[in-house]
Amino acid sequence: MQQIIIQLCGGIGLFLLGMSLMTDSLKAMAGESLRAWLGRFTGSPTKAMLSGIGFTLVVQSSTATTLATIGFVSAGVLSFAQAIGVIIGANIGTTSTGWMVALLGLKFSVSMVALPMVGVGALMKLLGRNTMGLLGLALAGFGLLFIGIDFLQESMAGVANQVDLGRFSGDTLLTQLLLVLVGIIMTILLQSSSAAITATLAALAGGAIDMPQALILVIGQNIGTVATAILAAIGATVSAKRTAAVHVVFNLGTAVVAFFVLMPATLWLTQNSFLATWDDVLVIAFFHTAFSTMGALIFMPFTHQFQLLLEKLIPEKIDAGNTHYLDDSLFSVPAVAIGAAKHALCQTTAETFEQFIQACRGQILGTQISVGALDDSLARVDEYLQKMPVPQSQADQERLMALLQLVVYIRVIRDDLLNSAYIDLLRTDLEDHLVCAVDQFEELTAFLYNMPKHLPSQFVDSFVAFGDNMKAQKNDVRLSIIEQSAQTQHHASDALDMIVARRWLDRLVKHTAKMVILLGK
């Protein structure tokens, strides 16, 4: 029995390790394309659901899809109604693991193929870079996953020989509820419904449990994912809490219907329809997909009502510093976490530049420009970046480096704006210089609010040319100020103050131009 337990633990460990390697690598390769994918194909609830299915099939992780969705709702890229469709779709997409295990892992002996997969994948990781290295990790993870399934199948066959589970095969409601509880505990302990369902399929294939037991365990394992969602939402943003609520209501509601309707119907179909000719593990995979699909058919027509209910129960409380974009749960998808931090900084910088534009137009005094919101945003982003792990993908590493550069440039611009009292001085004698600056900063502010993936090259060139032109005029402007001061018999100190003010404006434009160049890459 000790050998069986060791083999069972090893099989589960290899499966989880393989799934983790495969999922993390696929997420890293997907990167920023996830934002474009979900943003483009979620125009309606049905499209949102199909997008959730599609991306979960690609990365083999409903958690990755869900966490990315949380970030997009926080940042305003997706509406909460669209997010509901994506989350429901992710629940359907994650059932693909059951089919993969049933059709490949348990139907064929893939050990002779899986071991070379691990070897080739490891070699690709050692010798390859960027996408090739990540693809190698995904391939190695895929191989480990099936090696783990082999160990699980062998250990479950041993369990069938040494442990009598017949006491749980009764038709009483109490026995069935106990099996549901076992399924919930399996998912909580393994922290993966895919691993729990794979263990159930292996137990069924090995004869350790029968069909009715397997069906009830799958229901419990789907409910078990609710615990993970609730834990992830504790202390998180409102978007994360609403997303967790979608998981809870969807999984619990669907589980009740599956327990009382779908499970008896499936057992009847295995005796009186085409399912009678199917292998038991394929029936479980079919039931798992039917489980989630049925839930989608029930909930999708009421997406709007569902949205209004959750928004009423969990109201939004957005802070003034735009830091609601930052959510620790996004670290599992680095490209999305980096994008959220960038979005927060750009929004707050745009708000600060709006004050600069108002001061240049005389709507407020230069001394009234406040950098407090920018300070708060920078502090929150600093704290966020300290917790962010270094991404695996080189593309994500480059995005992170660009974000760190952006933080540096914004800090320098923030320091420049501390001396914004010079604006009031410039408006007395050099107002035409401020007018030219306002045009450029106004266009930049509009871009920062909308935050395209890259600033348009035409605008970048225009802003840089404006900065170069100001630098070229520096000496002429200085002489002009001195001559005008001599003609009007102003004090030399007034001329000096005006020269310093103009140099301050040059410096602000120069530092902002560096930020513009970075955002244009």
Residue pLDDT, tens place only, 450-500? 877 788 889 999 999 988 888 887 777 677 766 666 556 556 666 777 788
Higher pLDDT, 110 or 67: 67
Domain that includes residue 116, residue range: 1-313
Is residue 334 within 8 Å of 342, Cβ to Cβ? no
pLDDT reported for residue 320: 47
Asked if the structure places residue 252 within a domain, the reply is yes
| CB-based burial, 60-69: b 16+ in 10 Å, e otherwise | bbbbbbbbbb
Q: What pLDDT digit, counting tens, does each position of 365-416 carry?
A: 888 999 988 999 999 999 999 988 888 777 788 889 999 999 999 999 999 9
313, 345, 369 - which closes a domain: 313
Residue bearing tokens 């890459």? 521
**Same-domain check for residues 293 and 372:** no
Half-sphere exposure of 338 (CA within 13 A, CB side): 24
pLDDT reported for residue 434: 73
The domain tally of the chain equals: 2
**Same-domain check for residues 14 and 160:** yes
Is residue 392 within 8 Å of 24, Cβ to Cβ? yes
Number of other CB atoms surrounding residue 162 within 10 Å: 9
Asked if the structure places residue 350 within a domain, the reply is yes
**Same-domain check for residues 141 and 239:** yes
pLDDT reported for residue 464: 92
**Same-domain check for residues 119 and 168:** yes
Asked if the structure places residue 462 within a domain, the reply is yes
Asked if the structure places residue 318 within a domain, the reply is no
Is residue 15 within 8 Å of 152, Cβ to Cβ? yes
CA distance 356 to 132: 47
Asked if the structure places residue 269 within a domain, the reply is yes
**Same-domain check for residues 268 and 151:** yes
Number of other CB atoms surrounding residue 348 within 10 Å: 25
**Same-domain check for residues 283 and 344:** no
**Same-domain check for residues 132 and 257:** yes
CA distance 375 to 373: 5
Asked if the structure places residue 321 within a domain, the reply is no
Asked if the structure places residue 322 within a domain, the reply is no
pLDDT band with cut points at 50, 70 and 90 for residue 336: confident
CATH of the domain at 463: 1.20.58.220
290, 313, 336 - which closes a domain: 313
**Same-domain check for residues 251 and 339:** no
Q: What pLDDT digit, counting tens, does each position of 99-153 carry?
A: 887 787 665 555 667 788 888 888 888 887 777 888 888 888 888 877 887 777 6
SS3 call for 320? coil
SS3 call for 453? coil
Average confidence score pLDDT of the chain: 80
**Same-domain check for residues 424 and 304:** no
**Same-domain check for residues 301 and 334:** no
Task: Give residue 227's region: left, alpha or beta (phi > 0; psi -120 to 50).
Answer: alpha
Half-sphere exposure of 353 (CA within 13 A, CB side): 24
Asked if the structure places residue 41 within a domain, the reply is yes
Residue bearing tokens 């070229």? 472
Residue bearing tokens 């969807």? 250
pLDDT band with cut points at 50, 70 and 90 for residue 72: low
**Same-domain check for residues 335 and 301:** no
pTM of the model: 0.69
Is residue 512 within 8 Å of 444, Cβ to Cβ? yes
287, 313, 339 - which closes a domain: 313
**Same-domain check for residues 445 and 347:** yes
Percent of the chain past pLDDT 90, that is, above it, reads 18
Q: Among 83-97, 324-338, 438-452, 481-495, name the one with the lowest average pLDDT.
A: 481-495
pLDDT reported for residue 287: 92
Is residue 406 within 8 Å of 381, Cβ to Cβ? no
